[in-house]
Amino acid sequence: MTNAQRTCWLLTLFLLSACGLAYQILLIDLIRIIQWSHFSYMIISLALLGFGASGTYLSLAKRKIKTQASSHFFMNAILFSITMVGCFLISQAIPFNALNLIWNINQSFYLVLSYITLSIPFFFLANTIGISFFQFHDRINTVYAIDLMGAALGCITAVFALYYLLPLTLLIAICGVTLITTFIISVSLTKTIRSKIISVLVIMLLTILFFTPLYQLKPFAFKPLSITLNTPKTKIIHQQSNPLGLVSVVRSPQIPFHYAPGLSLYNHTNIAPQLGVFTNYDNQQVITHFNGDFKLIQYLDYMTNALAYHLLDQPHVLIINGGTGNTALLALYHHAKHIDQTELNPIYMHLIQNTFAHYSGYLYSHHYPIKLFNTQARVYLMQSKQKYNLIELPLVDSSASQSSSTYGIENSYLYTVESLQLMLKHLESDGMISITQWLKLPPRNSLKLIVTAMKSLNTQQPEQHLALIRGWKTFTLLIKKTPFTIQNIAQINAFCQARGFDLAYYPGMQKHEANQFNILNHAQFYHSITQLLKNPQHFIKNYPFNITPTTDNRPFFFDFFKWGALSETWPLRLHAHGLVDWGYLLNIFTLAQAMILSIILIVLPIIILKKQAFRQQQTLVTTLVFLCIGFAYLLTEINYIQRFTLFFSNPVLAVAIITAIFLGSSGVGSLLTRPLVLKTQHASRYFSSVIVLIILINIIYCLCLSSFLQYILSLNAGLRWLCSLAPIVPLAFLMGIPFPYCLNKLSKNNHGNIAIAWAANGCASVIASIGSGIIALSFGLNAVLLLAAGLYLLAYLIFSITAE
Amino acid sequence: MKYLVLLLTLIISVASAQPRHNVQQEKSALFSEIQHMAKQDRSLFGKDGIKQSVIDAMKKTPREKFVQKKDLSNAYENRPLPIGYGQTISQPFIVAAMTDLLNPQPRDTVLEIGAGSAYQAAILSHLVKHVYTLEIVPQLANRAASRLKSLGINNVTIETADGYYGWPQHAPYNKIIVTAAANHIPHHLINQLAPNGIMLIPIGNPYSVQHLTLIKKNAQNKITTQQIMLVRFVPFIRSEND
């Protein structure tokens, strides 16, 4: 192979890896639109399944492949680009219905089918990388580094591209780039073949572009926007996308929107005209038509979240995640002196400031005392010195979360002890936090909020600072900095009486005051809250749902699952669906599915067809070492993605950026493995130091990463980003060394071990990518890092005792 | 190769040997199951479970006529089934429970918001004087209307309209049942509810009703709402007694 050919090959590999990761990031975004967010972690797992299966395939077919490496490389690159669009379109045709999973066992088959279908492109991509390992077996670390750095570039590119292109357009663009990339490698082929190939590629490219108008996103039929679009004359009138989601503005002239969740039955005024705003076909909000006449928005005062305004006079308000401004309208209705509003997604602000400014009555203009901050709430709170009378967390979570209990694994850093403590610091002496959420029966989120608030209040008598009211669909919790006064309590009573809302708890509340309007079998809320306040530890331990306080180490507010209660809830699942926390069980199911598929597609073929090899100690060692390394790497990476969701406030951004940093740094680590470790006289000693450093860093991070992340939130944007890299880059750099080092040593005399290592690593990664979240749910984020450190140690011990 | 042929033959024979669906057996198993589930919660349905009149009405209503062709064999399974346009035909137990809790009387006029397949309306038609039902999706409304006609059900009137405003022409209604997802209860519906009337709203997604909201208007037009869990959950009883 000439130098030019080699360069072409490696350049193609770099670009293919970039396209591969860009595709993975895009797929996460697409799955969030078509299905729900909790499937986004499945994408990482299925991508790795493709990689693992490729390792198995290569180990079985290596002789054939080695003889015609160039053409195999080329073919796999082509297949990668075709299947990228093809498999996505096929997966859309699979009638998987997550809501029906409990009723219909066939749905699990469809889930498996979707999982396998979407992993196919990654199989072909991984083949190109694996073939490159064969082709450049003396420079494994270089190939590995090029792959990782290409992948890092792909992550970053995908995130930026999502600001400018709609997700489906980006899919076609990535496919086009992949096809064009394959032109480069055709240079290394003979002239005749090359010209034929180029014409085929051109035809394929044109075909894909020609059919572009036919490609359509087919979101799940039961997502709120899909259902809304079934009503006559309802149309999407504006659509905009960024990595935070696909925002659709919907007009429904014949059957207008009437969005006022939990509105009091005592309200007799009409709802103002509205436009629907959906994010990822879910998370409904509205843009309210406002012409300056506050009488037309009087109904807003008949929702539970209006309570705080009846306790405060012309308050200075902070609205967190204010979205399209309905909460700001309520504050204006109550003559708020000034309103500060944070909103992470600039699209919502843009809609009200520009596209629908006239419709919304120029709500976000200088006419009204509203100041907008396009930032994450905790970043704003860390940086601002402003004090407020009211901090409001409106109802913004998906309505699906109240009904399907499928949001268990999602982390939310807004409802943690640390977050509430931060909010309390920003309150004036008479100030309060108002949190409104969907009402869940039996009580769960309300109790978890109370427990979290109690811990954040840090006072001897937290019960004096809490009040909770409920309607038939929503509840509002007030957390006051100072104890509620008699006057406050009278105001709460009057508010509830006038609107038919129930008092669930306030300091000094009597039993007979509970359960007056929205009657439950017994005063469940009052009983639970009073018992909880009396003896929190005992109550939390015995309650059938997980209501332990949410912290930054366990930021899973929507996880209510308890194994202990499963024996009682499972038999009732068919007529009391809401009792079972499906989000958690779905993850267990996905993990089981990943394990079974990775064993069938990765492990079994090698065991069956390479029985002889497994009798060799070196093959067994290779398998064990790379299983440990694969597990440890992915456990760590996913852990950082979860931690940095605090920083980025969005899983897609967190996945893209953290993956990019991890892969880029590991790529450099891998590249430098040869000069820094392998070629030195004391290679094994250096390698030991690398492992010790990885373990030490993980332990140190367990102790202080949360505080460090909290601290950097207070820095300005540039410094914040720079500091966010600081903890990851050195760790990821070091984590890039064990794989090429061990692979180099273990495959010195047996190239077959390359594929086995590739397969074992893939298999472990598939399982770890889902397992990481589940371990974090049960034991906290720190436990995952400690486990990863332990696995690096185990890999090192096996390797050094047997191989070195 | 021969193993592959053998395997295929085996698969085909197993598939073809599947027992034929016995509708009567499936029906009777379904109604036993519904009663069994209802009897688990005596506080809600009494010791006899769902009222016999409701069960009889359900027996008279062939569920297989209300499901999609591909789901014919599942018609008498106790689970919700998709009917297209992001909607489902509810789980038979939920239909039975809601009908029972609505306490239908022969003189009642009922308004249903969200006809869907019109299965609920068809059952009610055997128990009340007249059912007015509104469906927002025209295709579903048309299908439902022709289905009811073919079954000879004449006391159900279906129209494509926004249920938010109710159907004032035929008000007041003794019973209102809102089967479509509602983020709030419009005052129009409350106004159209007759004194001593009952309104029932299931809470949850199309595949999982978690609890029901029962709204009662007394003779003096005072409104109360009641949240009904469709199951007794033992740990709560325990925690109450603590």
pLDDT in tens, A222-256: 888 998 998 888 999 999 998 888 999 999 988 88
Give the separation between CA A22 and CA A80, rounded to whole angstroms. 13
Q: Is the pLDDT of residue A620 over 50?
A: yes
Give the separation between CA A725 and CA B6, rounded to whole angstroms. 59
Closest CB from B136, B181, B229 relative to A441: B229
**How far away is chain B from the Cα of A358, in angstroms, using its nearest Cα?**
27
What residues of B are annotated to the active site?
90
CA atoms within 13 A on the CB side of A199: 5
User: What is the model's pLDDT at position A722?
Assistant: 80
Q: Is the pLDDT of residue B55 over 90?
A: yes
User: What is the model's pLDDT at position A524?
Assistant: 87
User: What is the model's pLDDT at position A576?
Assistant: 62
Please write the tens of the pLDDT for every residue from A354-384.
999 999 999 999 889 999 999 889 989 998 9
Q: Do B207 and A222 lie within an 8 Å CB cutoff? A: yes
Burial class (CB in 10 A: 0-12, 13-18, 19+), A389: buried
Pull the structure tokens for residue A119.
């992993």
Q: Do A519 and B224 lie within an 8 Å CB cutoff? A: yes
Q: Do A518 and B226 lie within an 8 Å CB cutoff? A: yes
Confidence of residue A402 (pLDDT cuts 50, 70, 90): very low
Q: Is the pLDDT of residue A437 over 90?
A: yes
The lowest-confidence range among A135-139, A199-203, B63-67, B218-222 is A199-203
CA atoms within 13 A on the CB side of A211: 13
| Chain B contact set for A267 (CB, 8 A) | 187
Q: Do B91 and A262 lie within an 8 Å CB cutoff? A: no
Matching residue, tokens 């100041």: A371
Percent of chain B, pLDDT > 90? 48
Please write the tens of the pLDDT for every residue from A159-171.
889 989 989 889 9
Q: Most A CBs within 10 Å: which of B78, B113, B210, B215, as the mutation test of the A interface?
A: B210
**How far away is chain A from the Cα of B85, in angstroms, using its nearest Cα?**
6
Q: Which residue of A has its CA nearest to B235?
A: A544
- Reduced to 3 states, what is the DSSP secondary structure of residue B160? strand
User: What is the model's pLDDT at position B231?
Assistant: 65
Pull the structure tokens for residue A551.
């912290």
Q: Is the pLDDT of residue A330 over 70?
A: yes
Please write the tens of the pLDDT for every residue from B17-36.
444 557 788 888 998 988 88
Q: What is the DSSP string of A183-213?
A: HHHGGGS-HHHHHHHHHHHHHHHHHHHHTGG
Closest CB from B84, B224, B230 relative to A576: B230
Q: Is the pLDDT of residue A405 over 50?
A: no
Q: Do A568 and B235 lie within an 8 Å CB cutoff? A: yes
The backbone region for B89, taken as left when phi is positive above 0, alpha when psi lies in -120 to 50, beta otherwise, is: beta
Cis peptide before A442 (omega within 30 of 0): yes
Give the separation between CA B206 and CA A459, rounded to whole angstroms. 44
Confidence of residue A470 (pLDDT cuts 50, 70, 90): very high
CA atoms within 13 A on the CB side of A325: 33
User: What is the model's pLDDT at position B153?
Assistant: 93
Closest CB from A231, A259, A399 relative to B137: A231
**How far away is chain B from the Cα of A97, in angstroms, using its nearest Cα?**
10
CA atoms within 13 A on the CB side of B181: 25
Mean pLDDT of A148-158: 89
Confidence of residue A601 (pLDDT cuts 50, 70, 90): confident
Distances (CA, A) of A41 to A47, A218, A287, A587: 10, 20, 32, 9
Give the separation between CA A560 and CA A581, rounded to whole angstroms. 6
Q: Which residue of A has its CA nearest to B90?
A: A575
Mean pLDDT of A278-307: 93
Hey, which of A176-180, A797-801, B148-152 has the most confident mean pLDDT?
B148-152
What one-character DSSP code corresponds to residue A513? Answer: G
Q: Do A575 and B94 lie within an 8 Å CB cutoff? A: yes
Q: Which residues contact B196 (CB under 8 A, 6 or more apart)?
A: B174, B217, B218, B219
CA angle A739, A742, A744 (to 5 degrees): 100
Give the separation between CA B144 and CA A110, rounded to whole angstroms. 30
Q: Which residue of A has its CA nearest to B207?
A: A99
Mean pLDDT of chain A: 86
| Chain B contact set for A539 (CB, 8 A) | 239
Give the separation between CA B38 and CA B30, rounded to whole angstroms. 12
Q: Is the pLDDT of residue A755 over 90?
A: no
**How far away is chain B from the Cα of A475, in angstroms, using its nearest Cα?**
13
AA letter at A163: Y
Mean pLDDT of chain B: 84
Cis peptide before A232 (omega within 30 of 0): no
User: What is the model's pLDDT at position A399?
Assistant: 42
CB A417 within 8 A of CB A548: no
User: What is the model's pLDDT at position A506?
Assistant: 95
Q: Do B233 and A260 lie within an 8 Å CB cutoff? A: no
What one-character DSSP code corresponds to residue A501? Answer: P
Q: How far is CA B205 from the centre of its chain?
A: 14
- Give A320-348 as a 3 state SS string: ECCCCCHHHHHHHHCCCCEEEEECCCHHH
Pull the structure tokens for residue A798.
């096996």
User: What is the model's pLDDT at position A195?
Assistant: 67
Mean pLDDT of A8-23: 91
CB B189 within 8 A of CB B178: yes
Q: Is the pLDDT of residue A493 over 80?
A: yes
Confidence of residue B240 (pLDDT cuts 50, 70, 90): very low
| Chain A contact set for B160 (CB, 8 A) | 232
Comparing B181 with A265, the larger pLDDT belongs to A265
Q: Is the pLDDT of residue A575 over 90?
A: no
Q: Do B136 and A231 lie within an 8 Å CB cutoff? A: yes
Count A/B contacts: CB-CB distance under 8 Å.
159
Instruction: Read off the pTM.
Output: 0.88
CB A193 within 8 A of CB A242: no
Mean pLDDT of A616-631: 82
Hey, which of A69-73, A791-795, B36-40 has the most confident mean pLDDT?
A791-795
User: What is the model's pLDDT at position A391?
Assistant: 97
User: What is the model's pLDDT at position A404?
Assistant: 37
Q: Which residue of A has its CA nearest to B96?
A: A575
Q: How far is CA A423 from the centre of its chain?
A: 24
Give the separation between CA B142 and CA B149, rounded to whole angstroms. 11
**How far away is chain A from the Cα of B49, in angstroms, using its nearest Cα?**
15
CB A44 within 8 A of CB A27: no
The lowest-confidence range among A94-108, A255-269, A687-701 is A94-108
Q: Which residues contact A701 (CB under 8 A, 6 or more apart)?
A: A727, A731, A785
Give the separation between CA B160 and CA B141, rounded to whole angstroms. 6
Q: Which residue of B has its CA nearest to A439?
A: B203
Q: Is the pLDDT of residue B171 over 60?
A: yes
Closest CB from A565, A568, A578 relative to B204: A578
Comparing A785 with B240, the larger pLDDT belongs to A785
Matching residue, tokens 């792959």: A147
The lowest-confidence range among A584-588, A694-698, A794-798 is A584-588
Give the separation between CA A696 and CA A701, rounded to whole angstroms. 9
Q: Which residues contact B41 (CB under 8 A, 6 or more apart)?
A: B230, B231, B232
| Chain B contact set for A569 (CB, 8 A) | 233
Q: Do A221 and B86 lie within an 8 Å CB cutoff? A: yes
Please write the tens of the pLDDT for every residue from B215-238.
999 998 888 888 887 766 655 444
Q: Do B86 and A222 lie within an 8 Å CB cutoff? A: yes
Calculated CA dihedral for residues A697, A701, A703, A708, nearest 10 degrees: 130
Q: Which residues contact A161 (CB under 8 A, 6 or more apart)?
A: A22, A170, A173
Q: Most B CBs within 10 Å: which of A233, A265, A284, A501, as the mutation test of the B interface?
A: A265
User: What is the model's pLDDT at position A384?
Assistant: 92
Q: Which residue of A has its CA nearest to B242?
A: A531
Q: Nearest Cα to B58, choosing from B14, B91, B88?
A: B91
Mean pLDDT of A666-683: 75
Q: Most A CBs within 10 Å: which of B44, B50, B200, B227, as the mutation test of the A interface?
A: B227
**What is the phi/psi pair of residue B235, to 5°?**
-55, -30
**How far away is chain A from the Cα of B33, in angstroms, using its nearest Cα?**
11
Q: Do A472 and B185 lie within an 8 Å CB cutoff? A: yes
Q: Do A231 and B187 lie within an 8 Å CB cutoff? A: no
Q: Do B86 and A543 lie within an 8 Å CB cutoff? A: no
Mean pLDDT of A745-771: 77
Give the separation between CA A462 and CA A465, rounded to whole angstroms. 5
Burial class (CB in 10 A: 0-12, 13-18, 19+), A271: buried
Mean pLDDT of A292-298: 93
User: What is the model's pLDDT at position A565?
Assistant: 77
Pull the structure tokens for residue A11.
């350049």
Q: Most A CBs within 10 Å: which of B183, B191, B238, as the mutation test of the A interface?
A: B183
**How far away is chain A from the Cα of B184, in angstroms, using its nearest Cα?**
5
Give the separation between CA A329 and CA A309, rounded to whole angstroms. 12
What one-character DSSP code corresponds to residue A471? Answer: -
CB B111 within 8 A of CB B132: yes
The backbone region for A401, taken as left when phi is positive above 0, alpha when psi lies in -120 to 50, beta otherwise, is: alpha
User: What is the model's pLDDT at position B238?
Assistant: 43
